[in-house]
Structure 1
Amino acid sequence: MEKVERNIIDPVGEVNFNKHKIEFGNMLDKIQAKLATFFVKKGILLLLIGFLLGRALILSKLTPFALPFFAAVYFVKKDKAPLALIGLVAGAATLSIVNSAFAFCTAFLFLFAFRLTKKWLKTEVRAIPFYVFFTLGIGEIGKCYLTTGNVSLYDGMMAGVEASLGFILTLIFLQSIPLLSLSKRRQTLKTEEIVCLIIMLASIMTGTIGWSLYDLSIEHIMSRYLVLVFAFVAGATVGSTVGVVTGLIFSLANITSFYHMSLLAFSGLLGGLLKEGKKVGVAVGLLIATLLIGMYGEGGGSLYKTILETSAAILLFFLTPQALTSKLAKYIPGTPEYTAEQQQYMRKMRDVTAQRVEQFSSVFQALSDSFSSLDESGEVDKDRELDFFLGNVTEKTCQTCFKKENCWSRNFNTTYEYMKDIMNEMDHNSGVVPLKLSRDWEKHCTKSKKVVDAIQQELTFYQANQKLKKQVQESRRLVADQLLGVSTVMGNFAKEIQRERDNHYKQEELILEALREYGVHIEHVEIYSLEQGNVDIDITIPYCNGHGECEKLIAPMLSDILGENIVVNSEECASYPNGYCHVTFRSAKAFTIDTGVAHAAKDGGLVSGDSYSTIELGGGKHAVAISDGMGNGERAHIESQETLQLLQKILQSGIEEKVAIKSVNSVLSLRTTDEIFSTLDLAMIDLQNAAVRFLKIGSTPSFIKRGNAVIKVQASNLPMGIIQEFDVDVVSDQLKAGDLLIMMSDGVFEGPKHVENYDLWMKRKIGELATDDPQEVADLIMEEVIRSRSGYIEDDMTVVVSKIKHNTPKWSSIPINKYRQKAN
């Protein structure tokens, strides 16, 4: 009973808990936003940084941080420069009044020189480090002269060192200060920016030298905390770099801390290597480094203190919110957060691109709908046209007739129906009116002959108008089909854009392990698709010296692992022995096609008016096409060649075959006013199931030879280019392995002499063929036709023979049973 009650009550409690959790998270976000606004936007953070840099020392004497920081803030955020100067002066005052006055004077001297010579500067950012260099040099020499009364060589050298450090620090601060802003930064941190940020953070922490809490050194705790954060975020490389740079700067500030550089560098390296253990692993790395370096460097008492400082740094590290480390990791190349951020950005760009393409697709779809929409008032318009037609007739005949009132007022329906029937009969019977209708009309109308002549005269204009309207409708229909085809292609393209490359890391490792286990040296495997029938894998292997191990060994092993035939699609061999070969493996198609071609020009000429093409299309489709230009010679060859080139480009764009052919026809018919046209014989074969679609435009029949049977394929359409609009008849059939598809131009089909039935003659000759080799079949058919003409070639002739075969792999698969199910 208690369990049931708990199950009933728990959901409510869970909802309340989640509600409070969300409210708490929102409250934290608001507090964080307010703190960020207070410290960053109001410049309090620059004030604190200035305070620490104002009291930071190098070699226990030099203070080169103050003026470079002020100059960089003045150039990057001029409105916050007074706060930075106040912090610098206050920080220097903790050292001595002289240092405070020196910081203020050098800042004033820098501003005076810069404002005085600003109008002569072309690029201010390049000049600022030089202003800092000379200002620090002059200021240091002046300070020595005022305090001691003279300037020694040592003082001059130290002034030069401080000025040089100021020059370098100015360049560093100019790059690192913009990183402290709240601006939403899209670009990643460069290596130089990361190093500059580390140097600035380490320089800031040198301002804490001498501070302690319960006898624990603040600078040691903060420096180890900094190393922990970067080792956790960016790994061993950046972690050790942070350790070396931070330790070096601390060593320059205080020579007694030189051993600290080894501790920080080693802890950064170990922490980065143990990054996979999350925060605990990085903390363990720091502890190990502390114990090793601590025992080596100092005595037991100091080791206990060092461990306490490390523990304090680890405590701060564990208290650091995950949001802060994740945000920092997004800007450092090589981190998972950076990769995820880049992928999210690319996904957003991909979605925007796909959305724009889909918008264009919808525009073309809307245009297609507007062209293809049927006129709902079509019948009304037809009746209205009939009324206009009869109105024109009556205006010429009935207006002056004395029986007008009798015919149109008393017997309107009878007169209207008679004239309508006469018009329809003349329209459908080439101007002939049936005898009975003529007699009835003569009895009804006193001017029957005049009315019939007027109807016949008006009918000529009516028929011309109807023909023009029909052509306009057909043109609109073609434009609608073309726009719909473009819309479909763009819609499919948008879907392809949105398809992400699947992550196949597990399968890649399995394939790599399987191939290496069998002694095949593989450098890299990259899987793009494991979809059945659409496998796409890239493999990098060492130089094989032309032994063909990709085709003979790797492809058969992949075939067994993936459970389908895999073949080498492309191979890029290395150009030198120590290089690598890049091979692409794809799914093998269920069928392959061997093609043979025989062609001859009229009278044995060099240029034939026939053209042919075999086109590999996407989606496992193969097209075979023959085009016969009108006449012979170069003009006919250009016409047929352009027909096939246009067809190939449109088909490869993804537009459906019928729309493609209609588009080619409209281009050919509108391109010129000459009576130039060409035929087209197209066969689209699906290599996955051997289904074929024939589209014949003014072409001769094709034949399918299946064993001893010969099947004729025929369709009736006018040649391309004669009229702008026509319907394309599509004939579908199913091919089988071993079938021969024979396509020919009219010069071959109608070539035999003294033959009455070309179909029977061609069927008989194809049936008598004893070979099934495509090239031999094409040559034999051509030879038979030329021989029947006693060796004369009276027209351009082309024969294309395609043999359908099962795609039997050259090499059988190599069984690797234990990897088969895992990879799939």
Structure 2
Amino acid sequence: MQRIHISAYRRRYIKDVSKGINIDNTLLFLCVLGFLLGRAIIIDNLGPFGISYFIYMCKHKKYKIPVFFSIALGIILSHEGSDALRYIITLVIVHLISPIISKEEDSIIKIATIGFIISTFTGIMGAFVKGIYTYDILISLFEGIAVFVLVYIYSFGIPLILKRSMRRAISNEEIIALSIIIGLCIMGVSNVNLFEISLKNVLSLLIIIMISYKGGAALGATIGITIGLITTMDTASSPIYIGIYGFSGLLGGLFNKVNKFVTLIGFIIGWSIVIIYTRGSYELVLSLREVFIASLVFLLISEEKLKYLERFTKGILGNEESALNYIDRVKEIINCRLRDIQSAYFEIATTFEKVREKDKILDQRDVASVIDMINSDVCSKCCMKKSCWESKFNHTYNLFVKMLNILEEEGRIDESLVPKDFKRCCINEREVIKSVNHYFDLFMLDYRWNKKLSETRKLVSNQIKSISNSIGEVAEELNEEINFDLEMENNIIVELDKENIKVDKICFLRREGDNFEINIEKNACYGGSLCEEKLIPAVSRAVGRRLSSYKVGCRSISDRCSIRLVNSQEYVAGTHVSSLSKDGNIVSGDNYTYMEIWDGKYMVALSDGMGKGEKAFEESSLTIEILEKMMESKINEEISIDTINNMLILKSSDEIFSTVDLSIIDLKDGSVESVKMGACPSFIKRAKGGVEVISSSSLPVGIISEIKIDRDNRRVKEGDFIIMVSDGIVDAGKDKQLGENWLYTVIEKIDKTNPAEISKIILDEALKLVDGNPQDDMTVMVTKIWRN
């Protein structure tokens, strides 16, 4: 019975084990790994690598038995009798207590400690059998510590192998652990030679070449030093090979951006230099066979397989793609947030529009209130109240309603408009008329303020919609393809360093198409000439294109300087202004601006405020200030003008308005967009002769809430002039019955090419027409276009 019970137990055990073993690629890989680690030996036949590997693999029941036999086979083939027996006994002990190790909740430190105890114990027991020495005890302690450390290392590397298809990101610890495991596996083939060619050396070289190609110089040198240290630690020439592998990986990685062949050439050159310097030319000839085989295998590996390796190399170094993915996620979050804010503002604006507005001075509820107040003031004191309000309430109430309807139609009521029925019934007609007119005036005042408030609500609603649209445009801009070119940034830093120009920060942004932008921050040079003379030419050489600054020179605040460089534009614009105030006033009602804004565009704007003096100056300066800020912020000109219009209407209860004459010149292609709001005609004087007029029929801003913007699109070429004037110039010909034609004729006859001279000639001609006594502020803006 006892024999039958034991036999049944064995059959059930074998059946359970066979069920748990499922042969797949992962199992085969882990078994090969166990075999190689079992074979790996360092000084004095020490081989803790397979033992520590099995201790960790006890956590994975599915692979435990096959890995046990693969490690045991490796130990038997590489160790001598007594050492092999000791390690096999250690494996058996670990297997017997594996149910304790395999608990999921156990920490890796606990498992490593168990491994340390078992390995140290079996080592000391083996020393007792052979004859104990202090050296043997120390070696046993060293081996136990090695097992402890290796179990911890395997806890990072092995899970990466088991879940390699599921992993998308890899930590630094995992990459380092994997590198050590690879090095230890290579040690497992240390004494395998084919035709005097070391398989260990070929594998070492192949791995270093592949890592250098996909990981670059830093990782190539790191993996070279790691493999050189691990695979040669049992030889006297270990330091030499550490240097050879490390320098070869470094030189190969330097050329990884070119292609596989150049990376390989760099590796071979690095290998040859150090071999010749340390070992001599004869050693170089012997080792070239191994380098050749490793190189051939590397070239035969497809790019697709090598790309898989790239996931691991990028995990440790971090890379441009990871940074860009992070930037894309941030952009997506900001974009969603901006879209939410845009939607919220739009809903607020819509709510403002839906607020109920009074369409009559007196609605039904107001009529009842007025009648009640008249009754309280006049009728309550009348001796005939009983015959009117008590006995004939409905009749009397309807008479009052009829009289209020007449009042609302006429605006005022007197005795001639009072209904005859009312006259026959009421003995206090005059007092009632007086009271009715008084209360109607109060409701009229309330109605007017209600209308004003309603108009203001509409303006606020329009303004909130404009803000919503502006936020939407910012969100749309975030969707543009923006790339940070880290390699180009490094090239610029190198070129600036050659010129001894110190900078603190460089950002190279690539946008959609061929557009890019370079932002540089540095200490101010205080002279303003460093950027133009040295910095821009140096950056242009690095980029390989002619560049220009976003604004003339750099923007310097305190001791810091910020400069933005863009691809040099095809055209350049320059503006000159001539102006004169009415009656010699210091303050002019005409305000203007000209500046580069964004994306290679140049803005010229002129505003003429209503009236003269300070009031006109305030209106036009407000218009120009808002326009400058909004255009600099990349806000659409239509939204900008709509905002100005709302601001002027809301600014005061008085009617204030100003004209807007805006020209936006695209310096990349020479297109000009003119936007006019109540402005005078502007002119384009062609370099080859002829004058074109750009006119408008729209109202100035600040008059009505719903504005109509006049737009005009033209093209300019080198030598053309864009001429903008205020109404003081155009109206100078009124008294002489010349209208606007006089200005066209003057501009056509001008043969000067300097914008300053042209503006002065136009102003002088206007002054002649008014006999030197201007009736309004006069301003002439002349912008010349020429090729860059």
State the partner residue of 1:650: 630
Distance 1:170 1:636, change over 3 A: farther
State the partner residue of 1:518: none
**Which secondary structure does the structure 2 equivalent of 1:499 belong to?**
coil
Check conservation: 2:677, 2:699, Cα contact below 8 A: no
State the partner residue of 2:100: none
State the partner residue of 2:660: 682
Distance 1:193 1:464, change over 3 A: same
Distance 1:68 1:612, change over 3 A: farther
More off after superposition, 678-687 vs 133-142:
133-142
**Which secondary structure does the structure 1 equivalent of 2:312 belong to?**
coil
1:424 equivalenced with 2:412 (yes/no): no
Check conservation: 1:615, 1:624, Cα contact below 8 A: no
* TM-score of the pair, normalised by structure 1: 0.55
Per the TM alignment, residue 89 of structure 1 is displaced from its structure 2 partner at its CA by 13
Distance 1:239 1:693, change over 3 A: closer
Q: How many aligned positions are there?
A: 652
How far apart, in 2, do the equivalents of 1:682 and 1:712 lie?
12
Q: Deviation per CA, 1:727-781, whole angstroms, max 9, x where unpaired?
A: 6675666789655211378xx999x9xx996998999799768757654465567
Per the TM alignment, residue 464 of structure 1 is displaced from its structure 2 partner at its CA by 2.3
How far apart, in 2, do the equivalents of 1:36 and 1:779 lie?
94
State the partner residue of 2:341: 360
Q: Deviation per CA, 1:541-568, whole angstroms, max 9, x where unpaired?
A: xx99979999xx99xx999xxxxxx999
Gaps of 5+ in 2: 1-20, 77-82, 95-107, 272-281, 486-507, 520-529, 555-562, 686-690
State the partner residue of 2:42: 58
**What does 1:310-459 align with in structure 2 at a 5 Å threshold?**
327-333=308-314, 346-373=327-354, 375=356, 382=359, 385-395=362-372, 396-397=374-375, 400=385, 402-403=387-388, 409=394, 416-426=401-411, 431=412, 437-438=417-418, 446=426, 448-459=429-440
Check conservation: 2:38, 2:49, Cα contact below 8 A: yes
State the partner residue of 2:179: 198
Q: Deviation per CA, 1:227-286, whole angstroms, max 9, x where unpaired?
A: 79768866899789868855764455699999999999999999999999999x99xx99
1:802 equivalenced with 2:781 (yes/no): yes
Distance 1:684 1:631, change over 3 A: closer
State the partner residue of 2:577: 596
Q: What amino acid is the match of 1:650?
A: M
Q: Deviation per CA, 1:102-140, whole angstroms, max 9, x where unpaired?
A: 89999xxxxxxxxxxxxxxxxx99xx9999999999998
How far apart, in 1, do the equivalents of 2:438 and 2:404 lie?
14
State the partner residue of 2:676: 694
Q: Deviation per CA, 1:28-66, whole angstroms, max 9, x where unpaired?
A: xxxxxx9899989xxx99999678646531145233547
Per the TM alignment, residue 469 of structure 1 is displaced from its structure 2 partner at its CA by 1.9
Check conservation: 2:388, 2:396, Cα contact below 8 A: no
**What does 1:145-164 align with in structure 2 at a 5 Å threshold?**
147-151=130-134
State the partner residue of 2:605: 624
Distance 1:234 1:170, change over 3 A: same
Q: Decide which of 724, 729, 741 is 2:724's aligned counterpart.
A: 741
Q: Deviation per CA, 1:370-426, whole angstroms, max 9, x where unpaired?
A: 222375xx6xx6469422232233332478373569987569878745531222211
**Which secondary structure does the structure 2 equivalent of 1:330 belong to?**
helix
Per the TM alignment, residue 353 of structure 1 is displaced from its structure 2 partner at its CA by 3.3
State the partner residue of 1:661: 644
Check conservation: 2:626, 2:644, Cα contact below 8 A: no
Per the TM alignment, residue 686 of structure 1 is displaced from its structure 2 partner at its CA by 3.5
**Which secondary structure does the structure 2 equivalent of 1:596 belong to?**
strand
How far apart, in 2, do the equivalents of 1:131 and 1:667 lie?
81
Check conservation: 2:86, 2:122, Cα contact below 8 A: no
Check conservation: 1:598, 1:782, Cα contact below 8 A: yes
Check conservation: 2:120, 2:143, Cα contact below 8 A: yes
How far apart, in 2, do the equivalents of 1:87 and 1:690 lie?
81
Check conservation: 2:665, 2:672, Cα contact below 8 A: yes
Per the TM alignment, residue 643 of structure 1 is displaced from its structure 2 partner at its CA by 6.2
**What does 1:61-140 align with in structure 2 at a 5 Å threshold?**
61-63=45-47, 65=49, 94=76, 95-99=83-87
Q: What amino acid is the match of 1:333?
A: K
Distance 1:206 1:695, change over 3 A: same
How far apart, in 2, do the equivalents of 1:710 and 1:220 lie?
82
CA RMSD across the alignment: 7.5
More off after superposition, 130-139 vs 641-650:
130-139
Q: What amino acid is the match of 2:41?
A: L
Distance 1:529 1:198, change over 3 A: closer
**Which secondary structure does the structure 1 equivalent of 2:676 belong to?**
strand
Q: Deviation per CA, 1:143-193, whole angstroms, max 9, x where unpaired?
A: 7687444447xx799789979988996896686467457497665565x86
State the partner residue of 1:486: 467
**Which secondary structure does the structure 1 equivalent of 2:41 belong to?**
coil
Check conservation: 1:617, 1:623, Cα contact below 8 A: no
How far apart, in 1, do the equivalents of 2:573 and 2:258 lie?
51
* TM-score of the pair, normalised by structure 2: 0.57
How far apart, in 1, do the equivalents of 2:700 and 2:342 lie?
32
Check conservation: 2:677, 2:700, Cα contact below 8 A: no
Q: Deviation per CA, 1:756-808, whole angstroms, max 9, x where unpaired?
A: 96998999799768757654465567779999999999x9x965422355x45
State the partner residue of 2:276: none
Higher-RCO chain (CA-CA 8 Å, sequence separation at least 6): 1
Distance 1:425 1:70, change over 3 A: farther
**What does 1:238-277 align with in structure 2 at a 5 Å threshold?**
246=227, 249-252=230-233
Gaps of 5+ in 1: 1-33, 107-123, 505-525, 560-565, 574-580, 811-824
Check conservation: 2:680, 2:695, Cα contact below 8 A: yes
Distance 1:433 1:693, change over 3 A: farther
Q: Deviation per CA, 1:486-517, whole angstroms, max 9, x where unpaired?
A: 2222222222222225999xxxxxxxxxxxxx
Q: What amino acid is the match of 1:740?
A: I
How far apart, in 2, do the equivalents of 1:39 and 1:132 lie?
24
How far apart, in 2, do the equivalents of 1:742 and 1:275 lie?
58
Distance 1:694 1:384, change over 3 A: closer
**Which secondary structure does the structure 2 equivalent of 1:740 belong to?**
strand
**What does 1:487-566 align with in structure 2 at a 5 Å threshold?**
487-500=468-481, 528=510
Check conservation: 1:329, 1:337, Cα contact below 8 A: no
What percent of counterpart residues are identical?
A: 17
Distance 1:432 1:718, change over 3 A: farther
How far apart, in 1, do the equivalents of 2:695 and 2:737 lie?
8
How far apart, in 2, do the equivalents of 1:681 and 1:294 lie?
88
How far apart, in 1, do the equivalents of 2:233 and 2:33 lie?
19
State the partner residue of 1:116: none
Distance 1:648 1:46, change over 3 A: same
How far apart, in 1, do the equivalents of 2:179 and 2:218 lie?
13
Check conservation: 1:535, 1:586, Cα contact below 8 A: no
How far apart, in 2, do the equivalents of 1:667 and 1:173 lie?
73
Check conservation: 2:190, 2:200, Cα contact below 8 A: yes
Check conservation: 2:657, 2:700, Cα contact below 8 A: no
